Every structure is written in C-alpha cells, then in structure tokens.
Structure 1
C-alpha cells in the first residue's frame, strides 16, 4: 500500500509535481495498470494541497492516457497506455486468482506452524507425527534397480505395487480388483483431478457433503466445475437435500467420504449407503468414494462395506497411503471400471502427471516388509487409545460442545451452536487447529488431529482450550 502522505509536491506548479509523483510510482512498479487511486478529496488531504490541484493533475493525466475515470467507481491507472514503457499487466493476472477468506485463514495457520515455536500445539496438520509413521528397512538400491523397475511399469502403474495394494486390501476386507480396473496416481488430489478432467467438462456440476474437506478445494475452480453442498446428519449425506441439488443443478458427479469423514470423523450408516446408491442409480450419477482412511478403522469386524463393494459398476474408488506413510509418499490410486480407467490414463499421460517410479518402488518395498501389517495394527491401537483420551478430555473441558468418538482415522470434530470463536484468538494462544469455517461450517467447530496428541500434549491442549474459551464465555 502506498503511503501518499510521505510525498509533498515541490513548490513549482503543484499539479505538475503530482503528475510526476504518479509517473514515478508507475516507473518503480509501485503502481500498475488497473490500480485505483485515492479519491481526489482524500488525496488532496494526504498531499496537503487544494482539491482543485489534484483535479487538474488528474485531468492532464487522463488526457495523456495515464489515468482513466470510471463513472461511479473512481480514477484508475489506464489499462491501455503506459508511461515510458510497456509492462505486463500483472494486476489482471493476480486478480484472476481468488483470495478467499478460507485461503487466507489457511495461510495464517501454516505460517504459525512454520515458525516452529517451542510452545506450539499443532493439531491442524493432516499427517501423523513422525514418531507414529511406520519404520522400514530398505535394501541398498542402485540406479540400475530403478531402470529395471521400469520394465515392470505399465500404463496402470508399477505392477508389484498394484499387487501389494490388492493383497493388503483383501487382507483388510476392502476390495479385490484386476489390473485393468486400477490406476496408480500421485495421491487423492491428483486422482480427483483426473476424474474431473477426464469425465466432466467445464460448467458441469458436482455435489459434495457439508461440512467437507473439499469445501474450498481449488480443484473445482481449476477445472471449471461448479460445486454444490448437501448437509450431513447422523447417518450421512441428507437424501432430500441431495436430490434437490441433483434436480436443480443437474449434478453430474457425487463425491463422498463415507468412512471417517474429513472433518467430522463420521461413518455413513449402512442404510444410508444403500439409499444414496439407489438415488444415484435412479438419476444415473456416478459416485466418487474418497476412502483415504480405509486401512485405519479401529474395529475391522465392524467395518461396513464400501460404496464400491455395494455398487462396483457405478462407484469410482480413490485412496492413498499418505495417512500412513506421510504426504511425501505421493502414492494414491483409483479403482473403477476398465473404460473409466482407460480414460483417466489418457488424461494422466496427456498432462504428464505420471507418478515417480522411484516413489512407487520405495512404497512397494515398504509394503513388502514382513512387519508392515504388524506395524499397521499397532498404529491403529495407538490411534484408538488417543481418540478415546482426546474424547474424554474434550467432554470434560468443553461440556457445552457436541463431541463424537471416532471409530477410525485421526480426526475428532467438536461443535456448538454459537458463532463467536475466532481464528485470531486460537493463533494468539499458539494453537494450530482447523476451525469449522475451513470446511463450510457456519457455527463454532474445531477439527482436531488426535493422532498428534500424546499424554503431555493432551494436557497442554486442555489448558489452552480452557483459556481460549474463557475469553469468549465471560
């Protein structure tokens, strides 16, 4: 922002001095085409001159093609002609990128985390703490090993990795698939991008849950897809609201997160799963099932069948290893009909988004470790213990809030029927947590990553929440 008050016109014709000030600011790139100047009255106050002096300077700059007046809007740097030299109109490019309040909030939270303050409590980050990430021993590899691995890579991905995921899925009673139904990607975000790009066209509409991790996803804006939200209740997405969206906006795709939903941690009931599938079959709408926490259910015997298992032909299933091995693993996958997979492969190749063979080989070796399943089971036990401890703490510290004990994943969701909690206060107390606004929730809500809370941190979080809420409630 320009501090106009620091400029004082020289004691020569002052309107000429004001013209010179504007020109110099343009030459120094402090003003750009399409930037708005202060109102004449306000600028006269800042420069301590008569308004008529500013008016005359602006009049001449308009004649020179430097400024343009827009009725009802004000005075702007001209988009058509530039002083001294032609320059790229960066203002136009930057204005195309929306600066949503949610994106600003996310940047503030990440900035706090990057500061790495000693007393920071980070329950915002969507990864396991390093201490819980499974440990693996890798054999010594040469560059020739990776070159050799490429001979086992098809358009669907690295064949040993596809087999390893298939075996683990069947062990955990998830899916069984053939190679032509499967595609390795660089994570869930890329999987969804391929689906939007490959199956829809700009202007098409999709439906998601509310609240949802995808509430402010830039994927929809990037691909030109319109997105509409239907609320969830205790069983999952509300059918009447979903059907209304389908009819009103001609929904072409439904994106759901039925198991350990992000951010609520909720599991869609079996009855609602059948009802959603029936509704989508009636209107011939495919479902994208985001099941990123598929292998992190605490009670496998109570695991409900996935939407993909209930309707193999009409559901596109996406998952990832990022919640177990960390986001840097960059390995995800899509399970769909062979026709859909072929289309996604075409988009993946055309956009050069093929995942690294190095990452695929390393993940395959990790999954081939004889202790992989043992470590996975141990991780689930730790997560279940931390979920229970966090739930007990929250019900005691926040008795007016609604808290639900999750049965998998690593998010716990707390809400109340007020709208007064502000991110600024959370950050001021060195607490990095995801407020409900990030997910489209209208009243006070917090998503807490309980996986990051060992016993000492849990105690610190309890005290910090008491302090923060006391400021609002008293």
Structure 2
C-alpha cells in the first residue's frame, strides 16, 4: 500500500511529506542525483494541493537535500554530507537471492512484538508451558563430560540415536541414526531441501492453503509453486498426476496431520494413496509433521505419519521440538535416505558448522526420558482449555461474522468470514483496536479466511482479543 500523509495528524502535512522524502533519501531509495516528481504530480499522488508539496520541497532545499534548476525540475542533491559515498542500500536490501518477508506478513510480525497488542497470531507455546531445561537438569552436565565443541555435521551422535528410538516409539518410523539430520529448526530443513535438492525453475506442489506459502525461501530459490486442491482430509492425491503431466513436478510438500492453517487431518487411506502416487511418478514427498503430536484432550489420535509406511525412501520427514517443547531450542530433524542426509549435512556444515551443541544435548535429555510423555499430557490438557475459551468467545462475539470447525489438535482455529473484506484494511483496523491475527492470504488462501491462535495468550486475553476482533468485524459489516 502506497504511503499517504495523515491529514488529521498532529504534524502539518507538508512536514510529513518532507520527512517521508528525507527518509527515502537517507536510506538510499532516492539516491543522489535522482529526479523527483513535478510538484503537481506528487500533489495528485498524495491527494494534496500543489502548495503543500511546494512547501515540503522548499524545506528539503533549505536542508540541502534537494536542488532545483529552472526548466530541469527538482533533484536529490549531489553534494549531501556523506551521501555521495553511501551505497544505495535500498537496492541492496531489495535484491539478493533471499527475498524479504511478504509485506502483510511483515506487518503482522511487527505487531506481534508489541506487548500492548493481544496476540492471536503467534503460534508458540506460552512461557509457562515450556518445561525447565537448565544445565542442572542434565545428569552428565559437568565440566568433564558436557560438550561445547562443534557437533558432527549430521548432528550429535547420541541425539540421533535417541531420535531413532523416539521416532520408532512415538511415530512408527524406522530410521537409523545415519538417516537422520539434526537441523536448526524444521525451517532450516526446508531451506536445505530447496537449496540442495532442487534447482531454479523446478516445479513443486503443495497444499493450498499452506504454511509454506508464507515462506519466501521457495521463491528465493527460484522454484515454481503450484497449488494442490484440498478437501476436509487434505490433499486430493489424484490432482498430482494432472499437475505433474503439465509441469513435470520435482517435489511435493504435504502437512497431513493437523495441517497448518486448516487443522485438517488426512485419513490413513488418503495417506496411502498419496504415497502410492508419488512412488509411481517417482516424485519425492516432503512430510512436515510439526504439529503431529499435539492431539487435544478427548480428541481422536491421528494416523501414523506417511513416513511410517514408506519402504522405498520416497518420503523426507521433517519435525522439530518447536511446537512441543521449546521454540528457542531450535532443534529440528530430517529423516531420509542416507545419500540425501549426507548431501544436506555437507551443505549445513558449510552454512553454520552444525546446530548448537548445547541445544542438542538439552533436547537429547528431554526426548530420551519420561519428560516427553509428561509434556504431551500437559499440552493435551492445556490446549483443550485454551481451545474451549476461544471457542466460547467466538460463539459470543463472532458467530454472525464467521464460521469455523473445531480442531482436534494443534494451536489454531481456521475461520471463514461471512462477508470477505480487504485484508490490509482489516488487519490495520484490528491492530488499531489492539489485536492481531493472521489473514488467510499469508498461506495462499483466497480473501475471507483468517487463522486465530490460542496457544500463546492467557484465557482472559483470548476473550478480550476475540471481543476486539468481533468489534472490528461488526464495524466493517455495518
């Protein structure tokens, strides 16, 4: 959305325009010697009279930032203090291989850091639900045995052994330690896959909507993204065949258990069909199972991951401790054929010399003990009570504005507005009212969808946040 001066603000409009142009000059968006629009052109753009723009230009000329020549227009001064030697950081920061976050997602991220705003967008465990993981918890945490050096490129050997046991006991996945790569969170695993196993121009398919649409890393890698249609069970597998025929898919990404953002769960039969089709077409399948362990109390347990039925090495399985234990640990893992793990481990070593040794040892001691089971039981009850609070608040404040289904796992409600609204206008109005959520377009959904998260805020804050959101929706529909 293009910047506009606030005609009702405390600062005079001409000063707002002058400050805006000054900022663009200093940041390099308007480099020395660049031409500025004629006064009448900028006046039309900002919806002000020409005299207001003239006053803004005059102020910048007095500061030495602008120069004017009769018949030649107005220019950014070539002789600014130090600016002549300053790099054009605007071009640098908007270039490079790794693209910036999408503007709407960035707006939400900024609001999430404001403690005065009720946060129904943050998909993290509240601090009280993160178990204590101090060095004193470790039986062997003493100066003789606690490792602080670089870990093995694939990850700490003891952690990978523990993960092999953990995956078999809790997920039905059989994998040797040599088929496991420890990563700095699940997102790094996806980044490694996109950079090392795919090439610019390759076509990949994923659910629509999907959390992956919110990650610029796929576009940064130059990949072509294609959407797979979904129903209440997730991906419709038959669509892969027609999409592959047209675009020659190189990889499929799926989130079959408590899908983010819809929370739907793929049935066993559908998982089997999806795997069979990928095997038939020889297309690797990346399974994101970040929320798979988060069944809410009284909810039906989901089927085992697709990786549990994969005997051919078709599936690359990605998971982490971020949603179940502590996001700050930054411990994720990728399970796949040994040749793939070795390729990605080599790339990871070049990137960061391995995931934090301290985090890996903390994660190992948590996953190999009864703490995992206790934490899952705590989370099951906690998420149940949080979900109930949000559901009751939505029934009271939002029933006439939206519809939703009840999730049996994960952190979210996926809502559809009765009357779709411009998402930028809606999110701006909500933030002004003191609440933030995630619009569906962040995940590639059409206008009119939104995700509401209940894992972070306390019950009273959830109730107040939903009340504020209901007020915004009421104002926009009235």
TM-score normalised over the length of structure 2: 0.79
Q: Quick one: structure 1 residues 462 and 93, their matched pair in 2 at CA, closer, same or farther if it must change by over 3 Å?
A: closer
**1:45-124 counterparts in 2 under 5 A?**
46-47=53-54, 56-58=70-72, 88-96=87-95, 103-117=102-116, 120-124=117-121
Report SS of the residue matched to 1:145.
Answer: coil
1:447 is paired with a residue of what secondary structure?
strand
Q: Note the C-alpha offset of 1:314.
A: 0.4
For the residues of structure 2 that align with 1:260 and 1:27, how far apart are their CA atoms? 46
Tell whether 2:198 aligns with 1:171: no
Task: For 1:393 and 1:192, locate their aligned partners in 2 and report how far apart those are by CA, in whole Å.
Answer: 36
Secondary structure, aligned partner of 2:318 = strand
Q: 2:189 aligns with which of 174, 177, 191?
A: 191
CA–CA distance in 2 between the matches of 1:370 and 1:238? Answer: 38
CA distance in 2, matches of 1:385, 1:28: 48
TM-superposed CA distance for 1:186, in Å, is 0.6
How do 1:195-214 and structure 2 match up within 5 A?
Answer: 195-214=193-212
Residue by residue, what CA displacement relative to the aligned partner does 1:126-172 show, whole Å, maximum 9, x if unpaired? 2101111123454274555344776xx53321122123223333332
Q: Cα distance, 1:259 vs. partner?
A: 0.6
Q: Distance in 1 between matches of 2:165 and 2:148?
A: 23
Pairwise CA distance, 1:220: 1.2
2:216 aligned residue (203, 215, 218): 218
Secondary structure in 2 matching 1:127: coil
> Which secondary structure state, in structure 1, belongs to the residue aligned with residue 230 of structure 2?
strand
Partner of 1:296: 294
SS in 2 for 1:409: coil
Compared CA separation, residues 146 and 417, structure 1 to 2 (3 A): same
- Measure, in 1, the Cα distance between the counterparts of 2:440 and 2:406: 17
Residue 138 of structure 1 contacts residue 366 of structure 1 at CA under 8 Å; is this kept in 2?
A: no
Give, in whole Å, the separation in 2 of the partners of 1:359 and 1:180: 20
d(CA) in 1 for partners of 2:243, 2:283: 12
For 1:26 and 1:460, how far apart are their aligned partners in 2? 42
Identify the residue that residue 471 of structure 2 maps to in structure 1: 467
Change (3 A) 1:35 1:407: farther
Change (3 A) 1:175 1:84: closer
Residues in 2 aligned to 1:183 and 1:259: alpha-carbon distance in whole angstroms: 22
Displacement of 1:271 in angstroms is 2.6
- State the shift of 1:348 in Å: 1.4
Q: 1:273 aligns with which of 271, 274, 284?
A: 271
1:135 matched to 2:152: no
Contact persistence 2:256–2:288 (CA under 8 A)? yes
Offset at residue 188 of structure 1 (A) = 0.8
Matches of 1:100 and 1:427, distance apart in 2:
25
- Quote how far apart the aligned CAs of 1:200 are: 1.0
In structure 1, the residue matched to 2:64 is none
Q: Pairwise mapping of residues 369-388 of structure 1 onto structure 2 (< 5 A)?
A: 369-388=369-388
The 8 Å contact of residues 147 and 358 in structure 2, kept in 1 or not, is answered as: no
Question: Counting helix residues as a fraction of each chain, which structure ranks higher?
Answer: 1
8 A contact 1:289–1:308 mirrored in 2: yes
The answer for the alignment partner of 1:394 in structure 2 is 394
For residue 236 of structure 1, report the CA deviation from its aligned partner: 0.9
Give the root-mean-square deviation of aligned CA atoms: 3.6
- 2:261 match: secondary structure: coil
The answer to whether the 8 A contact 1:102-1:437 is kept is: no
Deviation track 1:28-68 (CA, whole Å, cap 9, x = no partner) reads 9684168552037648965499xxx9775529x9xxxxx8x
Larger Rg: 1
Matched, 1:125 2:122: yes
Q: Cα 1:338–1:430, aligned 2, differ >3 Å: closer, same or farther?
A: same
Give me the whole-angstrom Cα distance separating, in 2, the residues matched to 1:99 and 1:190: 14
Q: Matches of 1:359 and 1:269 in 2, distance apart?
A: 34
Superimposed CA distance per residue, residues 313-340 of structure 1 (whole angstroms, 9 cap, x where no aligned partner): 2010000001123221110000001121
In structure 2, the partner of 1:418 is 419
TM-score (norm 1): 0.80
Change (3 A) 1:346 1:436: same
For 1:354-373, list aligned pairs within 5 A. Answer: 354-373=354-373
Q: Distance in 1 between matches of 2:29 and 2:407?
A: 52
Question: How far off its partner does 1:372 sit?
Answer: 3.6
**Aligned partners of 1:149 and 1:361 also within 8 Å:** no
Partner residue of 1:443? 447
CA distance in 1, matches of 2:97, 2:302: 40
Q: Could you tell me how far apart the structure 2 residues matched to 1:27 and 1:292 are?
A: 42
2:407 maps to which residue?
406
Cα distance, 1:270 vs. partner?
Answer: 2.3
2:242 to 241, 244, 248: 244
SS for the counterpart of 2:121 is coil
Cα distance change, pair 215–353 in 1 and its aligned pair in 2 (3 A):
farther
Q: Show the counterpart of 1:320.
A: 320
